[in-house]
Every structure is written in C-alpha cells, then in structure tokens.
Amino acid sequence: MKLVFAGTPEVAVPALDSLIASGRHEVAAVVTRPDAPAGRGRRLVASPVAERAEEAGIEVLKPVKPRDEEFLARLREIAPDCCPVVAYGALLPRVALDVPAHGWVNLHFSLLPAWRGAAPVQHAIMAGDEITGASTFLIEEGLDSGPVYGTVTEEIRPTDTSGDLLTRLAFAGAGLLAATMDGIEDGSLKAVPQPADGITMAPKITVEDAHIDWSAPALRVDRVVRGCTPAPGAWTVFRGERLKLIQVAPVPEHMELAPGELSVGKNNVYVGTGSYAVELLWVQAQGKKPMRAADWARGVRIPSGERVGV
C-alpha cells in the first residue's frame, strides 16, 4: 500500500522505521507537528519523526492544523491507501479521515478499551496494572473508540517507569503496526468493535497529578513516582521549594514514620507514608542536577522529625 505516516515524538520513530524497512509498503510522506522551540536558546527544532523522515528522503508535511486546506490538498494528491498513526498529537477532522481508502490506523499504547486517552502508559502504572500492551485500531471521531485490528501484551515490571515501559511498547507496537498494514493490504485482517465494558480513561497527567500525597499508602506513592517519570516528574515540597522525586522504593519493615516524616541514616533516606515508609533513592532539588538522595540529605542537613510535603 501507499502510506502516509503520522507521528511526532521519539516513541513514534520505531514504527516509522519498521514501515520503511518492511519493503512491502511505500511510505510516501510523513505528517508531523510543526517545529517547536526547545533548549535554553528556545530555537525551533524539528520533531524526531520529521528528522527521521528527512534522513530517509521522505516528504514531510507539518500542518499547523490537520484541517488546513493546503495540507488536505497535498494529502489528496498523494492519495494514500492507508495512514498509520503513532502519537501524532492533533485531532484529525472527518475531512482528513475520509481521504485514504483504508482510513487512519492508530497504534495506541494500551489494551483497548482500557486507558483511552493521552497518557495510557502512565495511568496503567499508577493504577497498579500488571499487564498492558498496545492496540491498532481504525480511527473514528470518538476518542480511541474505533474497532481494533490487533494487540500485543506487555508485562509491567515492579520497577518500570513510564519511560521504561513506553520504550518497550514502542518497539513491540512497531511490529504490530507493520503486521496490521500487511493484514489490511491482503484482506486477512478485519477490525473488531471494542466491547462496551472495561472502558477506562487516561487523560494527560498534569503537574498537580504528580504532586505526592504522603498520606497515601507506600505502594501508591511508588506508582505515582514511576508513572510520572520521566514526565511530568513526581514532586514534593521541602523547605518551601519543589523537590523532584526520581526513584523511590517501598520499605515494608519501616512502619514507625508519620506521613512525610524524614529519617536519615548514613546511606539511606526514608519518608513516612499512610502505610510503611519509602526510601528516597534519587532526587533533584530545585536548580540542581539529579543526585542520590543520601548525598542530597548530607548537603541539606536534615534534623530529626523534619518533614517533606509541608
């Protein structure tokens, strides 16, 4: 088939690579978000997908909105058979959805209908799910509600951050998306409507969602930290400033600390929660680089009974 691939961040690059390497389909163009300011100089930088497409000599389209007439006219000129999508980052209007004969097929990082929305991997970790995966589905105007072509499953490991899990799903999902394109092309694959039950929503994680509630149980604190790493980054307040929490570990044998209370040993820093303590492993103070929590604690000299989250 002739394909127009839509995607923007680094997590979409493995799928683009898989389609380019397949040899079975032609990636005629790539649709991605416009260049965005990045770094200290805030200079405009192309998306990872745009950079990869340019390396491969593929035409890159960067509409401000996918309903822009100039973009739609070019899409009609290309006349793709199908448009595979991975984390494009903009809602597609009906006028665009109707262009390819086989529609737009999205790779979504959950087992639909679970975790529809912008942050499925983060929500799966924060909810304590043990299994997640990726799904390919035909895009409709509803939010991640279209019929499903296929799925792959992935175990959520006890120490997985959302970054760890998303990296694995990006590569597993790349193979699923390529196989989905093959199945659509040869007619062996039909999309199946999603069940009406089991629907959960995964809206974008906000900075406030990443604010740690120390009265919550230790397992919940650990899940929020892992789910919010690397972005937006879990945090608490220490001496009036934000302290980013990069890695913690539940410690069931430490039961005696009140929520938010710190206990500092020679090489360990513990914080009380609503159940047992968690050990702070890596933190980042405001304006500082990430560091081991024990090194941070030595630098700030924490007296007995001091708390975070105050």
Of 150, 192, 155, nearest to 175 by C-alpha is 150
Residue 77: alpha-carbon gap to chain centroid: 33
> Is the bond into 230 cis (omega within 30 degrees of 0)?
yes
* 38 residue type, one letter: A
Note whether 19 and 27 are within 8 A (CB).
yes
- Residues 200 and 148: their CA atoms lie apart, in Å, by 16
- Residues 76 and 88: their CA atoms lie apart, in Å, by 19
Q: In 3-state terms, what secondary structure has residue 31?
A: strand
Triad 75, 184, 140: Cα angle to 5°: 60
Q: In 3-state terms, what secondary structure has residue 272?
A: strand
Helix or strand run (H / E) with residue 59: strand 59-61
Q: How many CA atoms lie within 13 A of 52 on its CB side?
A: 24
Q: In 3-state terms, what secondary structure has residue 98?
A: coil
Residues annotated within the binding site for (6S)-5,6,7,8-tetrahydrofolate are 110-113
The two tokens of residue 71 are 């973009």
Task: Give the contacts of 44 (CB within 8 A, at least 6 positions apart).
Answer: 35, 36, 37, 38
Dihedral of alpha carbons 68, 70, 76, 79, sign: negative
Residues annotated within the binding site are 110-113
